[in-house]
Amino acid sequence: MGMVSEFKEFIAKGNVMDLAVGVIIGAAFGKIVTSLVEDVITPALLTPALKAAQLENIEQLKTDGGILYGKFIAAVIGFVVIAFVIFLLVKGVNSMRKKEAPAPAAPAGPTNEEKLLMEIRDALKNRP
C-alpha cells in the first residue's frame, strides 16, 4: 500500500474528520467567547470602577511599581466566563441526550428447589 493511499485512508477516517471539525468549531467558539468577555461582560461589570480609576481599559490597571494587575484580572474574568459557558454547554448537551433506559436485571439463577427438581428430572431421563 502506497504512502498516498495510506494517507487518504487515514484522512477519510471518521475520527480524524470529527477532530478537524471540532478544532475549527472550537476556534470559532473561542473567538465568540473572547468577544463576549472583552466587549460585553468586562465593560458592563467594570465600567464604574474604571471610571473611578480614570481608565478606559481594565488592562491599564497597574501598581505604583508598574505591575500590570489589570491584565491578570481580565484573564481571571475571562477564565470564569469561559468555564461557565462550557458548563452551560455541557449541561445542555447532557440534557438533550436521551436518558438510556437501565438494562433489565439479569434473571436470578435457579433456586435450590429448582436445582433439585432438575437433578431429579435428569436422573429420571438417564434411567433405563
Domain ranges of the chain: 3-125
pTM over 0.75? The answer is no
pLDDT at 101 over 70: no
What pLDDT score was predicted for residue 115? 87
Q: What is the pLDDT of residues 84-93, one digit of tens each?
A: 878 888 888 8
Statement: residue 100 has pLDDT above 70: no
Q: What is the pLDDT of residues 12-71, one digit of tens each?
A: 776 777 888 888 988 888 888 778 777 887 677 777 777 777 777 666 677 778 787 878
Show the CA angle centred on residue 83, arms to residues 68 and 80, nearest 5°.
35
Per the CB < 8 A criterion, the answer to whether 62 and 70 are in contact is yes
**Residues 59 and 71 sit within 8 Å (Cβ to Cβ):** yes
Q: State whether CATH 1.10.3720.10 applies to domain 3-125.
A: no
Q: Does the structure show a pLDDT above 80 at 72?
A: yes
What is the three-state SS of the chain?
Answer: CCHHHHHHHHHHCHHHHHHHHHHHHHHHHHHHHHHHHHHHHHHHHHHHHHHHCCCCCHHHCCCCCCCCHHHHHHHHHHHHHHHHHHHHHHHHHHHHCCCCCCCCCCCCCCCHHHHHHHHHHHHHHCCC
Whether residue 1 is predicted with pLDDT greater than 80 in this model: the reply is no
